[in-house]
Structure formats: C-alpha cells, structure tokens
Amino acid sequence: MMRMKMEMVVVVAVVLHFLVVLPACVAFNATLGWQTISKGPPLVIANGGTSGLFPDQTFLANADAVNSTSFPMALLCDLQLTKDNFGICRTGWNLSDSTDLKNIVSNATVMSTYAMRRESRTGYFSVDFTSIELNKTTAIQSNPSRTPVFDENFTPETPESTALNSANGAQYGLFFWLNVEYPTFYQQHPGKNSLASYLTTFLKEYEPEYLSATEIGILKLLKPTALKSETNLVLKFLDAGLVEESTNTTYGEIIKDLPSIATYAQGILVPKEFVYPIITFTNDTSYGYYSAPATTLVQDAHKAGLEVFVYGFANDFFPSSYNYSFDPILEVLSYVGDTFTVDGVLTDFPTTAAEAINCYPRGYKSPSTLRASTIPVQNPIILSHNGASGDFPGNTLPAYVAAINDGADYIDCTVQITKDGVPVCREDVNLIKSTNIDSVSVLYEQYYASYPEFGSGVFTFDLPLKDIRTLKAKMYSPWSEYFVRRDPSNDGKEGVLTLDEFLVFAKKNSGVGVYVNLQNAHYLRTQKNLDMVDAVVASLTKANLTNGSHKVFVASEDSSALAAIQSSIPVVKRVYVVQYDEKSPVSITTSVLTEIKKFADTIALDGRFVDPLDIFGSSFLSSTTSVVRSAQSLNMTVFYYFLSNEFNSRAIDYRSDPILHINSLVGEYNVNGFITDHPATLYNFLYNNYCWQPLGGATDVNLSTQLSPIFPVAPLPGALSLPPSPALSVAESPVSYSAPLQNGTGPLTPSSNFNSATKPRARLISSVALIFCLIFSLY
C-alpha cells in the first residue's frame, strides 16, 4: 500500500506544473443570460484547491484544480498567522487536523489553550510556531473519510505563493481568494493588531481579487486599502444563530439588512441553507434531509448590489439533501437557474461545479422535452435497475413511472418466485432487504430461515403469494453500511408487484422496453422444485411479448435458464449476467465469451469486471481491462451494472462525480448500455450535456470549441493489474425446465429455528473517495 501511495504521488508530481490554459465550454441561457451581478458565468471557488481529493491548500491540490477546472475560477486560502506574523494556508484552527506536525512537535510538547469565538479551545495553533518551523511540516487530508494516499508529501501553501501562482493565470480568469475565518483571534495573536497589519500589507503587494472574513469590523478596517487594490470584500456568514464577534449580533439578524452590508462589502458568502433551508426528515441523523423552496436571498442581495457566493458544496458529504438524488451536478444547477443565479460556489470538487455551470446551461430537462429537440443519435441504452430505485422503493409503480419519466429505454423486473410458483418483482430473494417483513412479526418468525447459498433471512420461495401481498416495499440502500441512506419517505406505501402486473404496466407505456432478469432459476428448479423459466415464459406469452415485435430482454446468471428461454421463445433477446464474487474472483476470457455467445448475444457485466479497483484496497482504479472490447469483437452487446449516484459507488479516480464516471465508461470503454438506479443522471449526460458533443445533445447553442471540464479518467500510470484468476465457468448441471422433476429431488429443508438462525451476512463493499489521472498537457 505504501509503495503504491508513493508511486501515485511521484507520478502526479512529475506531470504537474501549476498552470494549463483550460477555457470553459461556456454556454448560457440564451433568453435570460447569466443572472449574476457581473453578467458572466458564476465563479467556481476551489476550497483549498481540489480538497475533496488532495490535502487542501497544497501545491498539488491547487494545481489539480487549475488543470481540471474551466474558468473563471478562484483558489481559496484560509489564512492563519504564525508566531512571527507570517501567513499560512490551513483549514480550521487546530493544525493537527490538517498538518503532520511530527517534525516540530514531540511527546513533550504541550498543547495551547486559547479563547476563540467565546469558547476555550485546546490544540496546536499556528501562532505558537514560526514560519520556519511550519515550513518543516507536511499537509494531510483534513477530512478523515477521504483517502490518505497523498498525505505527507507537500508542505502547506502560503497566501503569497498562492497569490503569485494565481496571478500567472489572471488573463484566463484565474483569481485568488483569501479567507479570514477567525479575525478577532488573529487581531490579538501573535500580537496586537497582527491581522490588520498583515492584511494591509498583503492587499497592497498582492492585490487579491477577493477577501472574505467572518467579521464586519475587519472588513470596515480594510475598506480604504481594498478600494486601492481593487479587492472585493466579502462578508462570510456562519450559522444564523451564531454571534458575529465585532458587533455582538447574530448572523441571522445581520443578513436582514443587506443595504448596510453593501456599505462595506461587495458580496456575501453564505451557507447553502441560507438559500435552500433544510427540512429534517427524521431525528435519526444518519438519514439525509430535504431542501425547502428557495428563499429570495439571492434576488434581494442582487437588488442591494451584493454578489452572492455559496459554500458547503462537496460531492461526498452526507447526510445530504434528497432533493438532488445524490447527484452533485443537479445540486449545483439548483443554484444556477432561470429564477436566480448565485455569483459563485465554493466547493471541494471544483471540476464538478464547472461541469454543472458550463455543460448544463439549461439545467436538467425532462426526456420528453429533450427527445423533441435533439438529433437522433446512437447512444448507449438506458435500463432501469428496479425502476428508478435510487429515488423510490425498487420494483414499485412509482419507481417505474419515475424511470420512464427520467428517460429509461427499458424498465426491469428482477424476478423472484413465490412458494406457489408466482413470479414477482423484487430486488433480492431475501425479502428483508426491500420489504417491511421484519416488522410483520407473525410472518417474520414463521418464515425466517437459513440457507447455505443465501445466508439468513425471509425468502420469497418460502412464502405463498397471499402472504407476500400483505407486505409493503421499502427503500433499499446498497451503501447503508457506510451511512449513506436513500430517501425513506416512500417506505410502506406500495405493495409487491407480480411479473404479470409489471408487464401490463410496461405495455401501457409505448416505446419503453422490458428487461426481465431471472434470479436463481437453476437453484429453484433443482432444490425447490419451482420452475421460474416456465413461469416467466407463461407471463411473457400472456402479455403477447414473445413474437419479436416488442423490445424485450430476458436475462439470467444461469446459462441453463437462458438455454431454455432460447428453446422456448427464440426471438427474445437474451442477456447473460456475470456476477462478481470477491471471495472467488474469475476472469472472462475470449473462450468464455465464445461459450456465452451460444445462448446469449448480450452480456451484463458487474462493473468490477470493467473498471476494477486495485489489489491494495485503496479504492483506486486498477489497470485498464479489455473485456468490453473482447466481447464486442464477437459482435456481443455489453451492459454495465450497476450505475448509481452515491459517491462511494465508484473508484476514487472519478472524484465522487457520476458524470466523470459515465464519461469514461462511454468514451473510453464504449459500453453499449447501463443498468442504473438513477436514469435521469445518465439521460441528461447523454442528451443534455453541451460539452459532450459526440453523443448529440441540443444543437441550438453556440458551443465553445475549446476544452470542457469533462475529461477522460484512466488508471494512474503504474497501476497494477489484478492477479490472474480462473476462467469463469458458465456450465451448469443438466436441468429440465417445463417438466416435472424426478422423484427424490425435492426441496432442501432450511434451518427454520428463529432463535438459532444467524443474522444475514453483511455485503462487502469497496471503500470510498475518488481520483483521476491528470493527463492534460501542462506548462
């Protein structure tokens, strides 16, 4: 792990120079234009550089922000003062949270205690160390949930160095932003008027474009100097209930008098909640929240002549607002719209903000609107995963309605089967994951069981349909073990659909295909005497979907089931689903693909076969794979599953950004289709992203021909390939579908003792965070 860490840093450090010219792919609302004070695009403010990936306020973080983000952009430095009254860029008040102090702090070093914002705080403060001492330290990731791979490789930047580097790109729209988080403290430490002295000199010598502070007093003090240096002064607001120290007034009261603020500042920097107030869903803080309708703060501030900048944006923050379906592009777009547009956003992931501003000038649009205005192109197929299961409980009517409205070409039913042989649509054979069975005590205790193949739970094949009909669907959150939970507000509202009911609904929506996925067909036939193939064929026949005139895929991980489908309804397209097992990894060779092609022309690959993680468990990409290309060389269609918006569903290389992930899978791997929990994100990328021109999109906007903030992501140079694995075996023991089983092969008996059965096994999931390999040509 350490060797890989060092290799990554060396590679990135070697190719990084500070500035590359990367103009924006700028498009804007042709009718209204940009509704900012400047009438230009909103400013992307990089919070310490790309701090969502690298240790903040370092050369590496700042250089990455410049190299991967279109302009206009500002680099932000959080000012702290040293013992000898020099400046350093660090986050927070305690150096140990963002800095490795081992070279200047020993076990015998005593932490200091100071009063700060009317509280006593103990830690390592910058004012207790000289600038020479702090130059011996190295920066670490200040957010412990993010990757530590780049820790301890760069010293913290200073305001002076960042300002000089920003000045080199000023002609392209690169600015410097100095933020003062603790003015009262630094006015007193290391000496009287320390802050005012430092800032006055700094403004005269470096003329930063922006200076923000959390206190009114220091802004008023600096106003004469700022006028000469043409620095925009910005009042930063903290929580509404906190007291602003120089006036002894709460921020909630100060924000009510915008004209007064305009007498000493040119702008305000506010938390997101000042624009979209929070509506808490539950007292359980592990859940997210909802955003209320927007206030009129932006419009009111603009009337007072104040620019409005908003902070608190990061792709990997949770809890987060359910309004945005875990899509950071959609969140930024909500602040950059037709009703109002903020003047800038402060973010840990500047690339994502630039994508939203420059590539989605019309915001996200409904498929019906886009389909009427776009040129038909051959885009990858969009298949839902249990409907729009990222927003609604899966396999329910609301989930399917949302999937269609969000642009899915196919809606899907993951087929399970009841004890009495009725096919139903459920995420998993274990009903605990996606229904309220665990709260229906009578059924739960009656049917709770353990099977070697599935672990412990309550399984569809043990319950008759009449009992399953009493259950209600609930949201399944695949990343809940990392405390990322989907919107539970629709839990308990919808029942379980049968396959017949699903097909009736699908046929009522012309133009939408169906994707029917048979799970565990071989097991059910050989061990439970239940014939899923026969049941599915009967349902498709009943719905008149077996004559080849409709868009139908039938999928399964069981080759025997697909072979039986091929024999029964040969005109239906078949998909072989390749599942990934961390405990028993396999490889997909050309000979394996040739064998699969005998019964399926389409293959659905778990994403870990396409863009796998490295073998060190660091959640970075491994080396590029060729399985998609190999399958397509045999004229096979390749589907990728599953796409979801949650930041921890993808490799660190993708920067917690679903758009960068999709862009790479489409552009670099040429995947033919995606099975996704969030069809809207994929649809808007394919049809509404003005920076992604090869795949179509609107044509009535004058697009820039220059580089966009969307770039291909590839494994870091030197990333190791996965070790060789045995070839996947697609052969299964002979089984006869649509015929009675021979005597003596009846179902196995489960362990049904409720008290002794073990709890369901936890699903192993790779860890979070995201990165990408910088490939631009720099100077």
> Are 366 and 405 spatial neighbours (Cβ–Cβ below 8 Å)?
yes
3-state secondary structure of 278: strand
Taking alpha carbons only, the member of 415, 405, 402, 409 closest to residue 487 is: 402
71-95 average pLDDT score: 96
Residue with tokens 């046929």: 507
pLDDT of 22 above 90: no
> Residue 403 has which token pair?
């999937």
Q: Between the CA of residue 152 and those of 102, 155, 156, 778, what are the distances in Å?
A: 10, 8, 10, 24
- Whole-number CA gyration radius for the chain: 29
> Are 72 and 173 spatial neighbours (Cβ–Cβ below 8 Å)?
yes
Cα separation, 11 vs 21, in Å, equals 21
> Residue 463 has which token pair?
């319950």
Residue 17 has a pLDDT of 37
Q: Which of 58-67, 484-493, 647-656, 692-701 has the lowest mean pLDDT?
A: 692-701
pLDDT tens digits, one per residue of 162-184: 999 999 888 889 999 999 999 99
At residue 745 the predicted structure's pLDDT band, cuts being 50, 70 and 90, is very low
Cα separation, 467 vs 322, in Å, equals 32
Phi/psi of residue 122, each to 5°?
-120, 130
Cα separation, 600 vs 733, in Å, equals 18
Top pLDDT among 310 and 686 is at 310
Query: Beta strands 381-384 and 673-676: pairing type?
Result: parallel
Q: Would you list the DSSP string of 42-103?
A: PEEEEETSSTTTS-SSBHHHHHHHHHHSPSSEEEEEEEEE-TTS-EEE-SSS-GGGTEE-TT
> Are 1 and 617 spatial neighbours (Cβ–Cβ below 8 Å)?
yes
723-738 average pLDDT score: 78
Residue 6 has a pLDDT of 39
Taking alpha carbons only, the member of 338, 314, 280, 276 closest to residue 768 is: 314
pLDDT of 558 above 80: yes
> Are 663 and 695 spatial neighbours (Cβ–Cβ below 8 Å)?
no
- Tell me, rounded to whole angstroms, the distance of Cα 447 from its chain centroid: 37
pLDDT tens digits, one per residue of 656-676: 999 999 999 998 999 999 999
The predicted model scores a pTM of 0.89
pLDDT tens digits, one per residue of 96-111: 999 999 989 987 788 9
Residue 284 has a pLDDT of 62
Query: Beta strands 243-244 and 232-236: pairing type?
Result: unpaired
Residue 361 has a pLDDT of 77
Instruction: Determine what percent of the chain is predicted with pLDDT higher than 70.
Output: 84
Instruction: Determine what percent of the chain is predicted with pLDDT higher than 90.
Output: 71
Residue 376 has a pLDDT of 52
Query: Beta strands 112-116 and 119-123: pairing type?
Result: antiparallel
Hey, what domains does the chain have and what are their CATH numbers? 2-363 (3.20.20.190), 376-695 (3.20.20.190)
pLDDT tens digits, one per residue of 209-253: 999 999 999 999 999 999 999 999 999 999 999 999 999 999 999
Residue 699 has a pLDDT of 44
Average confidence score pLDDT of the chain = 87
pLDDT tens digits, one per residue of 502-528: 999 999 998 999 999 999 999 999 999
Q: How many CA atoms lie within 13 A of 11 on its CB side?
A: 16
